Amino acid sequence: MNTTDIVLNRGYETIRLERLEDGIARIVLSRPDVRNAQSPEMLYELDDAFSHAARDSNVKVILLAADGPDFSSGHDLKAGFCLPGQPVATIQAGLDAPDAAGHYAFECEAYLGLCKRWRDIPKPTIAVAQGRTIAGGLMLLWPMDIILAADEATFSDPVTAFGVNGIEYFTHAWELGARKAKEFLFTGAPLSAIEAEQVGMVNRVYPRTELDEAAVSLARRIATRPAFGLRLAKESVNRSLDAQGQQVALDSALGLHNLGHAHNFKQFDTLIDPSGVEVIRGESRA
Q: Domain 6-285 carries which CATH code?
A: 3.90.226.10
Task: Please state the three-class secondary structure of the chain as a single string.
Answer: CCCCCEECCCCCCCEEEEEEECEEEEEEECCHHHCCCECHHHHHHHHHHHHHHHHCCCEEEEEEEECCCCCECCECHHHCCCCCCCCCCCCCCCCCCCHHHHHHHHHHHHHHHHHHHHHCCCCCEEEEECCEEEHHHHHHHCCCCEEEEECCCEEECCHHHHCCCCCCCCCHHHHHCHHHHHHHHHHCCCEEHHHHHHHCCCCEEECHHHHHHHHHHHHHHHHCCCHHHHHHHHHHHHHHHHHCCHHHHHHHHHHHHHHHHHHHHHHHCCCCCCHHHHHHHHHHHC
pLDDT of residue 167: 98
pLDDT of residue 9: 76
Mean pLDDT of 198-212: 98
pLDDT in tens, 40-95: 999 999 999 999 999 999 999 999 999 999 999 999 989 999 999 999 999 999 99
- Give the pLDDT mean for 221-225: 98
pLDDT digits (tens, 9 = 90+) for 3-45: 557 777 789 999 999 999 999 999 999 999 999 999 999 999 9
Going by their DSSP bridges, the two strands 6-7 and 15-21 should be labelled as antiparallel
Round to whole Å and give the CA distance between 4 and 68: 20
**pLDDT, average across residues 153-178:** 98
Question: What does pTM read for this prediction?
Answer: 0.95
pLDDT tops 90 at residue 285: no
